[in-house]
Chain A
């Protein structure tokens, strides 16, 4: 949805970490993006390349780890796997679902030089 702002957020976290941990070049960035986070991996890569140009992360490889979506179905009273945000429960068809996982957007780790 707003991958440009997210890519800037990623670069900001990288720059903060560079100051604290004293590294000067980032070669790979691992992001953990939930399947229900509404983030397009391709758009994210495109924006990341644009935002990091001229920074310490220029040319860094962006690895996106997709985490599966899970939700609590109120009707079944159980946790179910959910591939589509706001989709129906795969076992009972109800829409009374609360997303419990798979909506995260995190910078997991970096390979730095």
Chain B
């Protein structure tokens, strides 16, 4: 269990069904821990190979150069890999799939209670005929996905269990389950958390940070990583401005301090104020995704070409 934020693994469910972890996935380790025999076999196999590899020792790294069996044959192994490399590889796969389908995907991040789901419901109903799909991330319950489905849009719920953020692997699975339509919009509502989701690329075009006026205006500098990672900040619930002590200018200035290039749109899902600008942003993004799809090589032709290489 993480001492900082309490995050942990396991218990990931997509629409109530457990995610089958393949060998490449990080959360597999938890299962491995319980299996003592597997580890014992692994050790034995490794020992038989140890001697052959002792020849690779770089002199400065070798603490012991003994080649005699049973002696300590420690050696150094260069890794030089990013800790998030696995997640980033899954994210790249998701991004490629989205590109091929011409889908504009956004990763919506905020603290709990900023009004993400209400804003999504309003957005879907105001977009009318535009095809939208939603991936909902929450620790538990499928209430948010049900709220989205009530608007008529397909939605899938990921329950992260104890996990505090969505990762690219979970989202890839959810994308497979959703029948994604070409040239559509995919909105991913991340777990309400202003810390952890910042570091995890899901394959989205942009992260959108949502800050509501019932929160503190200084959140962008309190949780800078998230506002740094986002390309757009939505200031939500602006219909409540007359009733709360929220300094809009300060909030915008703080967000620009951590991210000079961040775009800000002020909205209210309740009064619809500012929604036109947000919808225009979504339509522009969809147009860009459509252009990118047309400019990228046809995935079918590319696959045929790859298969023809050995022939």
Contact A54 B77 (CB under 8 A): no
CB A103 to nearest CB in B, in angstroms, measures: 10
Q: Considering the chains assembled together, what is the distance between the CA atoms of A70 and B53 in angstroms? A: 39
Residues of chain B within 8 A (CB-CB) of A2 are: 2, 4-5, 7, 164-165, 195-196, 199-200
Which residues of chain A in 1-25 are interfacial with respect to chain B, using CB atoms and an 8 Å cutoff? Answer: 1-6, 8-15, 17-18, 21-25
Contact B77 A21 (CB under 8 A): yes
Residue of B nearest to A29 (CB): B79
Q: Considering the chains assembled together, what is the distance between the CA atoms of A13 and B43 in angstroms? A: 17
Which residues of chain B in 6-64 are interfacial with respect to chain A, using CB atoms and an 8 Å cutoff? Answer: 7-9, 26-27, 29, 32-34, 36, 39, 42-47, 49-50, 52-53, 61, 63
1/0 contact trace for A6-49 toward B, CB 8 Å? Answer: 10111111110110011111010001000000101001001100
Residue of A nearest to B53 (CB): A22
Contact B3 A46 (CB under 8 A): yes
1/0 contact trace for A93-113 toward B, CB 8 Å? Answer: 001101000001111111111
Known interface pairs A23-B77, A54-B33, A86-B221; A113-B72 also in contact (CB < 8 Å): yes
Residues of chain B within 8 A (CB-CB) of A105 are: 82-84
Q: Considering the chains assembled together, what is the distance between the CA atoms of A41 and B261 in angstroms? A: 30
Contact A13 B257 (CB under 8 A): no
Residues of chain B within 8 A (CB-CB) of A13 are: 79, 81, 83, 85-86
Contact A8 B81 (CB under 8 A): no
Contact B53 A21 (CB under 8 A): yes
Which residues of chain B in 76-108 are interfacial with respect to chain A, using CB atoms and an 8 Å cutoff? Answer: 76-87
Residues of chain B within 8 A (CB-CB) of A61 are: none
Q: Considering the chains assembled together, what is the distance between the CA atoms of A112 and B195 in angstroms? A: 34
Known interface pairs A2-B164, A3-B2; A54-B228 also in contact (CB < 8 Å): no
Residues of chain A within 8 A (CB-CB) of B258 are: 86, 95
Question: Looking at the complex, which one of A6, A38, A53 makes contact with B225 (CB distance below 8 Å)?
Answer: A38
CB A33 to nearest CB in B, in angstroms, measures: 9
A-side interface residues, number (CB < 8 Å):
50
CB B66 to nearest CB in A, in angstroms, measures: 12
Residue of A nearest to B63 (CB): A111
Contact B80 A9 (CB under 8 A): no
Contact A17 B225 (CB under 8 A): no
1/0 contact trace for B246-286 toward A, CB 8 Å? Answer: 00000000000110100000000000000000000000000
Q: Considering the chains assembled together, what is the distance between the CA atoms of A69 and B163 in angstroms? A: 29
Q: Considering the chains assembled together, what is the distance between the CA atoms of A4 and B26 in angstroms? A: 11
Q: Considering the chains assembled together, what is the distance between the CA atoms of A1 and B223 in angstroms? A: 11
Contact B42 A56 (CB under 8 A): yes
Question: Looking at the complex, which one of B29, B50, B61, B224 makes contact with A86 (CB distance below 8 Å)?
Answer: B224
Residue of B nearest to A46 (CB): B3
Contact B260 A74 (CB under 8 A): yes
Most chain B CB inside 10 Å of its own CB: which residue of A2, A9, A24, A111: A2
Contact A12 B86 (CB under 8 A): yes
Residues of chain B within 8 A (CB-CB) of A15 are: 29
Residues of chain A within 8 A (CB-CB) of B4 are: 1-3, 40, 43
Residue of B nearest to A38 (CB): B225
Chain A residues packing against B (C-beta within 8 Å)? 1-6, 8-15, 17-18, 21-25, 27, 31, 38, 40, 43, 46-47, 50-51, 53-56, 74, 85-86, 95-96, 98, 104-113
24 residue pairs bridging A and B, Cβ less than 8 Å apart: A1-B225, A2-B195, A5-B196, A8-B26, A8-B27, A9-B86, A13-B85, A21-B77, A22-B45, A22-B49, A22-B52, A23-B75, A23-B77, A24-B45, A27-B74, A47-B2, A98-B260, A106-B80, A106-B81, A109-B76, A109-B77, A111-B63, A111-B74, A113-B75
